[in-house]
Chain A
Amino acid sequence: MTLPSKRVGSRDGLGWLLLGLGFGLLGWFIATWWNQTEPASSTLKLLIGLGFVLAVWGLAGVARQFANTANPLVGFTPAALTLLVVLVTAEALLRAYQVPAGLIPTPSRVLATLVGVREVLLQDAFQTVVLEAMVGYLIGCSLGVLTALLVSRYTFLERGLLPYATLFSSIPIVALAPVLVKMIGIDWPSKAVIVAITVFFPVVVNTFRGLTEVHPLSLELMRSYAAAELQQYRWLRLPNALPFIFNALKLGTTLAMIGAIVGEFFGANGQGLGFRIQIEAGRFGFDIVWSAIIVASLIGIAWYNLVAWLERRLTGWHVSFR
């Protein structure tokens, strides 16, 4: 349900105008300071601040126009503009203060590096994402759902295992990483195991909740139909659990990426985003570090959205999407 926007006309134009002015100011400064080697004067720094304020102000106006857009691609415009404002301001500030690249590289420098080392980073990403994160994620999630099914079926397991699952979910998984890497070896399977353990517990706890928090009336109905237990699971409990499962699956995507990357800090076979980040951070090659971070984030966002898309496809009937 989209409400017609109340503010049409001049207010809308004003937002874009302010945004354009802000970008113009920041862009002008970056262009004039491109080859300078000394810090800018305080007047110029004030100008950057003014540009930033104008851009944010304009952004607020522009974002209001997109508040009720249904199309996700068009709705992404304000977010994209936010990123642009932050990047351009960062570029301007870093150049104004002449922060050394060994401390924080400017966005433009990171972009150039990203294009330059893309092949190495793609290989790293294959190792980290496909072999470690995805394999571990699939194993951990399927085991988690199976365990939850068993636990919801047998009260003894619910009482004996579930408290441990909640207990285990408050354990810092990073502390597991060095032990597992020492135990299994520095190749990718050790990281896949870390990821599987990381995503396992949220999936168990959430799926169990979804399977058991069924409305009593629905259960009564199933009973009055004399539905077998299998049918009850097929037609009532599993559909009811799907939104819960997807919540855990979405949470799991980020956990999987972090688990794989942190696991690589404790030993890797010379490949992987985490390995690259650690090695280059040690050498103060922060432009490569940021490039690796960008690759990891892009993949993480894409993965999250893939799961969210699956969720919309499979649970489109649900209240939260109506």
Chain B
Amino acid sequence: MRLSPNLGPMLVVALVALALYWPLMYLANIPAAQRALDTGAALPCKTAVECATQLRSPVLPSPQQLWNGFGNLMFPLNSPNAIPLNAAVTALETIVGLLLAALLGFFFAIGMVVSRAFERALLPWIVASQTVPIIAIAPMLVVLLGQYGVQGWLPKAIIAAYIAFFPITIGLAKGLKSPDPLALDLMKTYNAGNWQTYLKLRFPASVPYLFTAFKVSMTAALIGAIVAEISTISFQGIGKMLAENSRASDVVAMWVIMLSSALLGILLVALVGWLERLLTPWRQGGRAAPVVRRAGPAPRGEVG
């Protein structure tokens, strides 16, 4: 198992965090409980310390409250108001969004590597597109797509793709540019055509970068899908649950949804990692992909 040397320290850290949770929870909730008692709210407890675990909208919910919240929001599994069904909808939007983003990213990245003119004309706007708050475009996009009969989860997937294509574009462009100049020269001496250079050298070289980018993009796409659900009219999804409970000021439910969406994010990224191991078995069981390995020794200097 790869994780085994980390397991001990990780457990220690987790235990420390858990041990710190109770004092933190009391510290955060006691002032709120005191205020609630002072205003004469009807609470089933006498002292502030006792009330700290029973507030209706706690700053930090107590473990008991979280546990009950999970119980309320998880079952029945197929209920339209429970997390499993909504999480599945959001996951579907995210994955379709990622696939759309991959298509778009491929197009831009190859354009940028093939033609510097293309890069000059578009790269500033690709960067700029990421500074545009998607949430503002989301309602417009939904209305627009609705006119052409595209409704439901697809607009959310498109919004997810909009926010997820950037890391794929940049990662793939970097990967395609990553082959050693010597290797490129070698392809030239073999009289390889452009197409062959891409197929045999550049694409294989870009695979590790691509999977790193997919992991980042998966998170981005999930954020996009959730934001899209929040900012448009939606009947299903994690974002809809968040917006609903935010309006209802159900703090415990919000914590539960937050933790579940964190779990969903971890699961989706793990899915990419699993795919990576499956598709690139030659890379030592899918060890951590190289980040932008810009640091390090200059390759040419070493070869002489």
Which chain A residues have a beta carbon within 8 Å of chain B's beta carbons? 59-60, 63-64, 66-69, 75-76, 78-79, 81-83, 103-104, 156-157, 159-161, 163-164, 167-176, 178-179, 182-183, 206, 209-210, 213-215, 217, 240-241, 243-244, 247, 253-254, 257-258, 261-262, 265-266, 273-274, 277-278, 281, 286, 289-290, 292-293, 296-297, 299-301, 304, 318-320
Q: A103-B144, A277-B136, A319-B298 are in contact. Are A175 and B226 (CB under 8 A)?
A: yes
Since A174-B223, A300-B130 are in contact, a sample of 7 more A-B pairs with Cβ atoms closer than 8 Å, ordered by chain A residue number, is: A104-B140, A171-B266, A172-B219, A174-B230, A262-B135, A297-B128, A301-B127
A82 adjacent to B135 (CB under 8 Å): no
User: How long is the Cα–Cα vector from A254 to B127 in the complex, in angstroms?
Assistant: 9
A170 adjacent to B223 (CB under 8 Å): no
User: How long is the Cα–Cα vector from A289 to B132 in the complex, in angstroms?
Assistant: 11
Count how many pairs of residues, one from A and one from B, have CB atoms less than 8 Å apart in the complex: 191
User: How long is the Cα–Cα vector from A247 to B298 in the complex, in angstroms?
Assistant: 19
Which chain B residues have a beta carbon within 8 Å of chain A's beta carbons? 3, 5-6, 8-10, 12-13, 57, 59-60, 115-118, 120-125, 127-128, 130-137, 139-140, 143-144, 215, 218-219, 222-223, 226-227, 230-231, 238-239, 242, 245-246, 249, 251, 254-255, 257-258, 261-262, 264-266, 268-269, 291-298
B247 to chain A, nearest CB (A): 10
Q: A104-B140, A172-B265, A265-B135 are in contact. Are A213 and B296 (CB under 8 A)?
A: yes
User: How long is the Cα–Cα vector from A277 to B137 in the complex, in angstroms?
Assistant: 10
A210 adjacent to B125 (CB under 8 Å): no
User: Residue B9 contacts which of A159, A167, A240, A265 (CB distance < 8 angstroms)?
Assistant: A159
A172 adjacent to B226 (CB under 8 Å): yes
A129 to chain B, nearest CB (A): 11
A213 adjacent to B131 (CB under 8 Å): no
Task: Give me 20 A-to-B residue pairs in the complex whose CB atoms sit less than 8 angstroms apart, sorted by A's number.
Answer: A59-B121, A63-B117, A67-B117, A79-B124, A82-B121, A159-B6, A160-B9, A163-B6, A167-B266, A169-B219, A170-B266, A175-B258, A182-B57, A244-B291, A257-B131, A274-B135, A277-B136, A281-B231, A293-B133, A297-B131
For A240, the closest partner residue in chain B by CB is B295
User: Residue B133 contacts which of A59, A64, A103, A277 (CB distance < 8 angstroms)?
Assistant: A277
A257 adjacent to B133 (CB under 8 Å): yes
User: How long is the Cα–Cα vector from A183 to B246 in the complex, in angstroms?
Assistant: 12
User: How long is the Cα–Cα vector from A278 to B139 in the complex, in angstroms?
Assistant: 10
Q: 10 tightest CB-CB pairs across the interface, nearest first?
A: A300-B131, A160-B9, A63-B117, A159-B9, A67-B116, A170-B269, A160-B13, A78-B121, A175-B261, A171-B262
For B6, the closest partner residue in chain A by CB is A159
Measured between beta carbons, the chain B residues less than 8 angstroms from A240 are 295
B214 to chain A, nearest CB (A): 12
For A299, the closest partner residue in chain B by CB is B131
Measured between beta carbons, the chain A residues less than 8 angstroms from B226 are 172, 174-175
User: How long is the Cα–Cα vector from A178 to B291 in the complex, in angstroms?
Assistant: 32
Measured between beta carbons, the chain B residues less than 8 angstroms from A301 are 124, 127-128, 131
B215 adjacent to A156 (CB under 8 Å): no
User: How long is the Cα–Cα vector from A81 to B57 in the complex, in angstroms?
Assistant: 53
User: How long is the Cα–Cα vector from A299 to B131 in the complex, in angstroms?
Assistant: 9
B227 adjacent to A174 (CB under 8 Å): yes
A142 to chain B, nearest CB (A): 21
User: How long is the Cα–Cα vector from A296 to B13 in the complex, in angstroms?
Assistant: 39
For B94, the closest partner residue in chain A by CB is A172
User: How long is the Cα–Cα vector from A171 to B121 in the complex, in angstroms?
Assistant: 34
Q: A159-B6, A160-B10, A318-B294 are in contact. Are A265 and B230 (CB under 8 A)?
A: yes
B231 adjacent to A160 (CB under 8 Å): no
Q: A68-B116, A156-B9, A304-B127 are in contact. Are A258 and B133 (CB under 8 A)?
A: yes
For B5, the closest partner residue in chain A by CB is A159
User: Residue B262 contacts which of A82, A83, A172 (CB distance < 8 angstroms)?
Assistant: A172
For A171, the closest partner residue in chain B by CB is B262
User: How long is the Cα–Cα vector from A220 to B293 in the complex, in angstroms?
Assistant: 20
User: How long is the Cα–Cα vector from A277 to B291 in the complex, in angstroms?
Assistant: 36
Measured between beta carbons, the chain A residues less than 8 angstroms from B130 are 254, 300
- Give the residue among A253, A262, A289 with the most B Cβ atoms within 10 A: A262
User: How long is the Cα–Cα vector from A210 to B227 in the complex, in angstroms?
Assistant: 32
User: How long is the Cα–Cα vector from A257 to B127 in the complex, in angstroms?
Assistant: 13
User: How long is the Cα–Cα vector from A170 to B212 in the complex, in angstroms?
Assistant: 12
User: How long is the Cα–Cα vector from A206 to B294 in the complex, in angstroms?
Assistant: 12
B117 adjacent to A64 (CB under 8 Å): yes
User: How long is the Cα–Cα vector from A173 to B220 in the complex, in angstroms?
Assistant: 10
User: How long is the Cα–Cα vector from A173 to B132 in the complex, in angstroms?
Assistant: 17
A170 adjacent to B265 (CB under 8 Å): yes
User: Residue A182 contacts which of B144, B251, B261 (CB distance < 8 angstroms)?
Assistant: B251
For A128, the closest partner residue in chain B by CB is B133
B246 adjacent to A76 (CB under 8 Å): no
A297 adjacent to B132 (CB under 8 Å): yes
